[in-house]
Structure 1
Amino acid sequence: MRHTDPRWLDRNGEPIDEDHRGLVYDVQTLIDRRRALGIFGGVALTSLLAACSAQSTDAATTGGATSSPTASATPTASPSTSADASGPLAEVPDETGGPYPGDGSNGVDVLDDSGIVRSDIRSSFGSSTTVAQGVPLTIALTVRDASTGSALAGRGVYVWHCDRDGKYSLYGSGVENENYLRGVQQTDANGTVRFTSIYPACYSGRWPHIHFEVYQDVATAVASGPIVKTSQIALPAEADSAVYATTGYEQSVPNLAQVSLQTDNVFRDDGGIHQIATMSGSATGGYIASLTIGL
């Protein structure tokens, strides 16, 4: 005959029906079952009760599999790093290439020079090997079809920007014979290119930015062929302020104080909402500036 716990007997000594024994009985029964399975451990009673509801929901939606809070907090790959279509996205606005493009549209053409296709753009190439100094910056651009989100592999991307003093190679006083901070690369299978560079200055009248052009392929880029997209990357204020507090960027501090995304002559129409880079890193260890370009 099965033994009945005295707690579950009525005043006449008869067993109380399980449906009427109350919450204490239900919880104790659950604890006893979990102890028998060897999985209860040191979990607090309140946590156990909360977990029961969550696990029931998870099991219903995942076919019985559940995930822990730790697992759910683990970062996953961003859609921008996948070649698969990620759905429609906003097209990056067309912007001016500025007065210092170096693509043949305003004087000098660096695109047809041997050495322009490269990932590290900190140094000049050819007759000069001068290296631009500044806080390290990796520029990561992912090119996607705006209508589908699909990665556009094999596209040619040309980037250029000013140095720590606010000067553009090939044009600025004293750097006319330099071609640093300019380079071309081909997007990989995920539509991405990465350039190793330095953080650009903020010069008078402009918000800190990086120029880029997208071509159908590298061959078209180095032949100064048709441009698919000309635009600019806006660098976020928090990173700007951190970088400009370091040695060598002193003149950028007052320049940044006199401009905003809303007053900048390029980004003011929409505040650069489709062109503001996503930043990671620090002024001491260097930054990564990432942007998805919808075409």
Structure 2
Amino acid sequence: MERKEFLRRGFLSALGSAAILPILGSCSKDSVDPTTTDTTTGTTTGTTTGTTTGSCTTTATETAGPFPTKTPGTLVMNDITSDRTGTKLTVKITIQNKNNSCAALANAIVDIWHCDAAGNYSEYGGSGMQSTNYTTVHFLRGRQTTDANGLVTFTSIYPGWYSGRAPHIHAHIYNSSGTSLLVTQIAFDQTICNTVYAQGAYKSHGLQDTTNSNDNVFSDGVTTELASFTGSVSEGYVLTHTIVVAG
């Protein structure tokens, strides 16, 4: 079964029963529609838009599946590159607390994970979803705790893509006690993707087959999920992004 078809149908059994609980569903809006309760206004918001309070808007909630990190607490590190090759990417994520006048949220736990230049994830494989077996390695996954400015910084490579999904990074935010605050995804600018994917480790895989506008996660808008970029292929890129949670 191709990964794109798996995403469309939400067919969990391809990963085996042992994987059903952690993945919650595929990377598809149709497979899961979590909601968060806005403790400031008393309203409830879903995945399509956030809720505005003061000068910030809560970041849209998205699914963590189908390749979430299995034991993120063991992957506390800044450099998550491992042995993967690709254009250098520095990921700078700032966490803001909507419930505290959008102030920076210190001591929040931030997990990120994404695929390699060929579109493969570590910790998974050998199935219809991903034929290459990377079940025993842990590249491009990491955890950091925000500083006083709400900032975490990771060193990685520019993510590749896989059929049926626009390029993206997954992020899961917890408070200092380990309580989950938000699961979301970070979207990429297509123009930069086109530049990166035409060279180096990405060239043989080609350009992505899915844009943000026809992606099954981002098609309803990326207002709160689109990252900003500076840099170049030769020097590497710096991704900056703010994620707003109800902390």
TM-score by length of 1: 0.60
Runs of 4+ with >6 A deviation: none
What SS does the corresponding residue of 1:212 show, helix, strand or coil? strand
Structure number having the greater helix percentage: 1
Deviation at 1:252, TM superposition (A): 4.2
Question: Amino acid of the residue matched to residue 77 of structure 2?
Answer: R
Is 1:234 aligned to residue 187 of structure 2?
yes
**1:243 is the counterpart of 2:210:** no
Instruction: For 1:198 and 1:112, locate their aligned partners in 2 and report how far apart those are by CA, in whole Å.
Output: 21
**C-alpha deviation, 1:110, in angstroms:** 2.2
Please tell me whether the aligned partners of residues 141 and 293 of structure 1 are also in contact (alpha carbons under 8 angstroms). yes
The answer to whether the Cα contact below 8 Å between 1:170 and 1:178 also exists between their aligned partners in 2 is yes
Secondary structure of the residue aligned to 1:98 is coil
What does residue 190 of structure 1 align with? 149
CA distance in structure 2 between the aligned counterparts of 1:133 and 1:174, rounded to whole angstroms: 18
Cα separation, 1, equivalents of 2:233 and 2:205: 14
The whole-number CA distance in structure 1 between the counterparts of 2:88 and 2:162 is: 18
Give the distance between the partners of 2:239 and 2:72, measured in 1 at CA: 23
Letter of the structure 2 residue corresponding to residue 167 of structure 1: N
User: SS of 2:184's equivalent?
Assistant: strand
1:211 aligns with 2:170: yes
Q: CA–CA distance in 1 between the matches of 2:109 and 2:116? A: 23
CA distance in 1, matches of 2:110, 2:224: 18
- Among 71, 75, 80, the residue aligned to 1:121: 80
* Contact 1:279/1:288, CA 8 A, preserved across alignment: yes
Contact 2:92/2:153 (8 A) holds in 1: yes
Structure 2 regions of 5+ residues with no counterpart?
Answer: 1-53, 126-131
1:261 is matched with 212
Report matched runs for 1:101-120 at 5 Å: 101-102=68-69, 109-113=70-74, 116-120=75-79
Q: TM-score, normalised by structure 2?
A: 0.72
Q: How does 1:263-278 map to 2 (within 5 A)?
A: 263-270=214-221, 272-278=222-228
- Residue by residue over 1:154-183, the C-alpha shift from the partner in whole angstroms, topping out at 9 and shown as x without a partner, is 000000000111100000323221101111
Which of 62, 73, 82 is equivalent to 1:95? 62
Identity of aligned residues (%): 38
CA distance in 1, matches of 2:225, 2:154: 17
Aligned partners of 2:200, 2:80: CA distance in 1, in Å? 21
Among candidates 224, 229, 233, match of residue 283 of structure 1: 233
SS state of the match for residue 164, structure 1? coil
Q: Is the 8 A contact 2:73 2:143 kept in 1?
A: no
Q: Tell me which of 112, 126, 134 is aligned to 1:159.
A: 112
Instruction: Identify which of structures 1 and 2 has the higher relative contact order when contacts are C-alpha pairs closer than 8 Å and 6+ apart.
Output: 2
Distance of aligned partners of 1:193 and 1:112 in 2 relative to their CA distance in 1, 3 Å threshold:
closer
Alignment length (residue pairs):
185
Report if the CA contact (8 A) 1:234-1:277 is conserved: yes
TM-superposition CA deviations, 1:45-95 (whole Å, max 9, x none): xxxxxxxxxxxxxxxxxxxxxxxxxxxxxxxxxxxxxxxxxx521110000
1:170 paired to 2:123 = yes
Which structure dedicates a bigger proportion of its chain to strand?
Answer: 2
SS at match of 1:203: coil
In the alignment, the residues of structure 1 paired with residue 149 and residue 73 of structure 2 have an alpha-carbon distance, to the nearest angstrom, of 26
* Structure 1: runs of 5 or more not aligned: 1-86, 103-108, 124-130, 221-225
